[in-house]
Amino acid sequence: MAEFKLLKSPIKIGNMELRNRMVMPPMVTNLAHDDGSVSSKTRAYYGARAKGGIGLIIVEAANVHPLGKGFANGLDIHSDRFIPGLRSLADEVHAHGAKISVQLYHAGRQTTSQVSGYQPVAPSPITDPVTGELPRELTKEEIKGLAVDYGKAAARAKAAGFDAVEIHFAHGYLLCQFLSPHTNKRTDEYGGSLENRMRFPIEVIRSVREAVGPDFPIIARISADEKLPDGITLEDGKAIAKRFEEEGVNAIHVSAGLYETMTWIIQPYVVQRGCLVDLAEAVKRVVSVPVIAVGRINDPELAECILAEGKADLVAFGRGLLADEELPNKVTEGRAGEVRKCIACLQACVDELLANQQVGCTVNARTGRECEFPMTKAETPRKVLVVGGGPAGMEAARVATIRGHKVTLWEKASELGGQLPLVVAPPEKDEFGTFADFLVKELERLGVEVHLNKEATVDAIRRENPDVVVVATGARPQTIEVSGVDRDHVVNAWDVLAGNVQTGKKVAVIGGGLVGCEVADFLAEKGHEVTIIEMLPQIGTDIGPVVGPILFARLEKNNVKVITGAKLTGIGERDISYEKDGKTEALGEFDSVVIAVGAAPDGSLTNQLEGSGINYYVIGDAVEPRRITHAVLEATRVAHEI
């Protein structure tokens, strides 16, 4: 397994030969210019993955028609004016030995008029429950025209030097909308039976084939199962794959879901690794062309197993390549143990996109910022002292060392990790621990001098005499000013998650943000009876839109009671009081009260350094408590400024 013979072996899709069986699937980045053209950020992002050793890059969804624009800064391919930029992107990828395809798509109803400038269109006028907009039904003339548009887009890709095209038949976008009985309620020849629902997609395949010629590879990405009672089933998916092969498609890329079942498109950490491989395996049984597996595959050993067991012919790593663009090189060079794994948190790769921001990665700040963070050697190596061994401190130490600085790290605790052990403690969050493991191993591999149980003071820093100090001392839990908060049965959430304290059977959690919800989940899973008291109208306002509903469903399943719009006013021996809607209410019989009302920066060292004459930076939660994403980003930025 450690040799990864299959992952490293070449394979052909049509007449396109790939150097290995590792694929970068299309993932929206929002890195394009406002007009949909390729930017320097786009080139640097894909160039880094090509340099990282990937066999095939399938560039993110490129829109074939103005009405199909689904993302503010998504790529466009609906005009010849985009060819020069696309050619520059193909040249960048080819320079590093990878092959490049582009995904042709139209968002259909899964966009908004705010993004595209038009009323969305679809096979049937059914409101998308996620976007909330009612689409207009396409006419038969428009359908015929769109098939031509797909062909023209494919011809542009070929003219730009791309090696293949992928047609997006998945994830609830326009072609998938036609394939699915959930979204296609037409009564003409484009609706009804599966054969009729396939009519437009097949017209698209034929148009693309005519435009690119007989030898140019075409890949089809399908949702083999939409995970909806009235959606595309696996049996449908297999039939679709077989028919597409008959129409000359050279490979099938097997995914699942649509916006309404988003967790199957972009799977969070609660979904098991390789969750869609069974779909790829089922499709592989009915087609003879290569099959690409995808779905939370962040581990090279898992990928090799998929190939060894004959479940697929190629493996798409997806967000694994956002987390570590060097993953393929590390596999081929025998350094798989150095892979920085995707933790499936969705914070920067999905939450940011849904807010119309550019793509990023919680554990890899370079993602989407390759131009800003080139990881080049510093002109003047310096002596750097990092204070704090959480994610911000360890990442600052790691990047600064790679850039040629001499780095020492001090951590006052007996082990590295900072708050990461607290992050891992709630149910189903073990994946987050892989990031801590990666950082600790990297510091050791790079030779960073680490001192544990080391308290930082101005005098100690002066004795060390560094050129630069990076303060990454993190945060401390906040309390709440209310009568009874000092009672013995009142504890803070951090101590509960760390296992430093035990709670009684009946627990009140004060605060319904991420930490409050997770500590409630943590306790409920262990059999405690939990009630959350939250001041805001709803809980989890700081939790992402994909992860949030999953966590809330777990709380409901475990009978966690939730009281919102409630301000705590007092804690008694067994009861608590709160104000809601102008009235004072009381709840009794609590054995423990857990305070989860946020955190405050640990400014003890920062205050000492002010006016000391010592050159220092402050990063991460020591500035303001936020997500791991912000800590890692600030650490990388500071390490490039030094």
Q: Are 601 and 621 in contact (CB under 8 A)?
A: yes
Q: Are 374 and 368 in contact (CB under 8 A)?
A: no
Give the helix ranges, DSSP H, for 9-76.
40-51
Q: Give residue 264's Cα distance to chain centre.
A: 13
Report the relative pairing of strands 75-76 and 406-411 from DSSP bridges. Answer: unpaired
Q: In this structure, what DSSP letter does residue 483 have?
A: B
**Predicted pLDDT of residue 352:** 86
Residues with Cβ within 8 Å of 280's Cβ and at least 6 positions away in sequence, in order, are: 224, 254, 291, 292, 293, 294, 306, 311, 312
Full-model pTM: 0.95
**Predicted pLDDT of residue 271:** 93
- Torsion region of 117: left, alpha or beta (phi above 0 gives left; psi -120 to 50 gives alpha): left
The one-letter amino acid code at 131 reads: T
Q: Averaged over 555-565, what is the pLDDT?
A: 97
Q: How confident is the model at residue 578 (pLDDT cuts 50, 70, 90)?
A: very high
Residue pLDDT, tens place only, 391-417: 999 999 999 999 999 999 999 999 999
Q: Averaged over 6-15, what is the pLDDT?
A: 98
Give the helix ranges, DSSP H, for 429-545.
433-446, 458-464, 493-498, 514-525
Residues with Cβ within 8 Å of 604's Cβ and at least 6 positions away in sequence, in order, are: 473
Q: How confident is the model at residue 77 (pLDDT cuts 50, 70, 90)?
A: very high
**Predicted pLDDT of residue 2:** 64
Residue 1 clears pLDDT 60, i.e. is over it: no
Nearest to 200 by CA among 215, 212, 184: 184
Q: Give residue 135's Cα distance to chain centre.
A: 28
| Alpha-carbon gap, residue 250 to 205, rounded angstroms | 11
**Predicted pLDDT of residue 604:** 92
The one-letter amino acid code at 437 reads: D
Report the relative pairing of strands 164-169 and 99-105 from DSSP bridges. Answer: parallel
Q: Averaged over 433-447, what is the pLDDT?
A: 97
User: Of all residues in the chain, what percent carry a pLDDT higher than 70?
Assistant: 100
Q: Are 384 and 467 in contact (CB under 8 A)?
A: yes
| Alpha-carbon gap, residue 472 to 407, rounded angstroms | 14
**Predicted pLDDT of residue 355:** 81
Q: How confident is the model at residue 449 (pLDDT cuts 50, 70, 90)?
A: very high
The number of CA neighbours under 13 Å toward the Cβ of 604 is 11
User: Of all residues in the chain, what percent carry a pLDDT higher than 90?
Assistant: 97
When the pLDDT of each residue in the chain is averaged and rounded to a whole number, the result is 96
Q: Are 387 and 472 in contact (CB under 8 A)?
A: yes
The one-letter amino acid code at 238 reads: K
Q: Give residue 50's Cα distance to chain centre.
A: 20
Residue pLDDT, tens place only, 183-199: 999 999 999 999 999 99
Residue pLDDT, tens place only, 335-357: 999 999 999 999 999 988 888 88
What are the distances in angstroms from CA 348 to CA 130, 221, 272? 20, 24, 20
**Predicted pLDDT of residue 220:** 98
Active site residue 173: yes
Q: What share of the chain is helix, strand, coil (3-state, %, to 5)?
A: 35, 20, 45
Residue pLDDT, tens place only, 256-303: 999 999 999 999 999 999 999 999 999 999 999 999 999 999 999 999
**Predicted pLDDT of residue 9:** 98
Hey, how many other C-beta atoms are within 10 angstroms of the C-beta on 129? 8
Q: Averaged over 516-539, what is the pLDDT?
A: 97
Q: Are 152 and 211 in contact (CB under 8 A)?
A: yes
Q: Averaged over 68-81, what is the pLDDT?
A: 96
**Predicted pLDDT of residue 356:** 80
Among the options 105, 150, 173, 578, which is catalytic?
173
